[in-house]
Amino acid sequence: MARRTLYLPVMIAAAVAVACAVALSAVSEKAEATFPGKNGRIAYSAYDGNDYEIYTINSRGGDKFQVTNNNRDDYSPSYSPSGTRIAYVEFDKNDADIYTIKVGGRGKTKLTHNNADEAAPSYSPDGKKIAYMVYSNATGDTEIYTINAFGGGGKTKVTNGGQPSYSPDGKKIVYWDYHKTSSNPHPDTEIYTINIGGGGKTQLTHNNNDEFTPDYSPDGKKIVYAGLAGLERNNAESDIYKIKAGGGGKTKLTHNNKYDTSPSYSPDGKKIAYTVSKGNAIGEDIYTINAFGGGKTKLTHNNADESGPSWGSRP
């Protein structure tokens, strides 16, 4: 099957439902929190010609290390606050589950055990919980749950929506959810926050385009996300935006005709790692920019798909 990147969140339900790891990994990548600390390595997913595996590199793009190594598809990495473990999604050609693993590649642990598709894990600031999204084959809904980070268990539903990311104080989750109005009967996705226990839902973005893959800044004052200009995938582009955590103050950080998505703040808050895609053409790479825009730097230089960065703290 030809590999094709589909970032449009409204296509998540359809893509996750099919047994296609490529589409699943593309739409489900990246939803993780960045925690304050010293800048460590960047985890990401890369296609090696057979399947997707998790790798890490240093912040300059060198010293590449392969974390996972199997015949399944591994993607959507999310560093723990300590920088010692990575949560990720493993797709076994039947369904997708949440796993964690040590950054050196050992100590693999499966956290979810069912026939649904789980995606987009995000550690809590204390490292005890992981938020993630679940696609329901029965209803077609996407829902956000939390689970214990050690051994699984304690599954709790938070809200409907997808791609959750904890605030640095652990009190809120930022995520996308569908939004439908009389002037826009075809629902788009907007960025929301909600209290970790549910309740207090607040809509941060307000337009007829799709916003997705949100991430809190380490100080909790800003939220960075990807915004899609237009709903027709082949005639659209996405860029990286920044907004105040309470809404307002929207700033566009990237300006090109490609598909920029999956932003992840550096632990010191000065940089943002993100994915740049060529759209329907094969080829995705990891870049960084300054948190205020500018200073774009390409970190990966391979003829492969490398996407969904998570910037970890130095252990």
C-alpha dihedral sign at 134, 136, 139, 140: positive
Angle at 54 between CA 3 and CA 268, to 5 degrees: 115
pLDDT surpassing 70 at residue 208: yes
Q: Residue 120: its pLDDT value, please?
A: 96
- Cα(178)–Cα(53) distance, integer angstroms: 30
Q: What does the pLDDT look like over 100-135, one tens digit per residue?
A: 999 999 999 999 998 889 999 999 999 999 999 998
Instruction: State whether residue 233 is helix, strand or coil.
Output: helix
Task: Map tokens 């109005």 to a residue.
Answer: 181
Tokens of residue 133, six digits:
């999204």
252 residue type, one letter: K
**This model's pTM is above 0.75:** yes
Q: What does the pLDDT look like over 275-291, one tens digit per residue?
A: 998 755 557 999 999 99
Q: Residue 190: its pLDDT value, please?
A: 95
Q: Residue 236: its pLDDT value, please?
A: 65
The length of the chain is 315
Q: What does the pLDDT look like over 2-31, one tens digit per residue?
A: 233 333 343 343 333 322 333 333 445 555
118 residue type, one letter: E
Mean pLDDT across 217-225: 97
Mean pLDDT across 83-112: 95
Residue range 9-313 forms a domain whose CATH class is mainly beta
Backbone phi, then psi, for 285, in 5-degree steps? -140, 160
Average pLDDT in the chain = 85
* % of the chain beyond a pLDDT of 70: 83
For β-strands 188-195 and 172-179, DSSP reports them as: antiparallel
Mean pLDDT across 78-90: 96
* % of the chain beyond a pLDDT of 90: 67
Domain ranges of the chain: 9-313
Q: What does the pLDDT look like over 149-190, one tens digit per residue?
A: 999 999 999 999 999 999 999 999 999 998 866 565 567 899
- Cα(226)–Cα(71) distance, integer angstroms: 30
- Cα(263)–Cα(75) distance, integer angstroms: 15
Backbone phi, then psi, for 95, in 5-degree steps? -150, 170
**Among 175, 231, 182, 171, which Cα is nearest to 203's?**
175
Backbone phi, then psi, for 107, in 5-degree steps? 70, 35
Residue of 247 and 302 predicted with greater confidence: 247
Q: Spell out the residues 6+ positions from residue 47 whose beta carbon is closer than 8 angstroms to its own.
A: 3, 22, 304, 305, 306
Mean pLDDT across 284-301: 95
Candidate from 72-81, 89-98, 253-262, 273-282 with smallest mean pLDDT: 273-282
Q: Residue 89: its pLDDT value, please?
A: 97
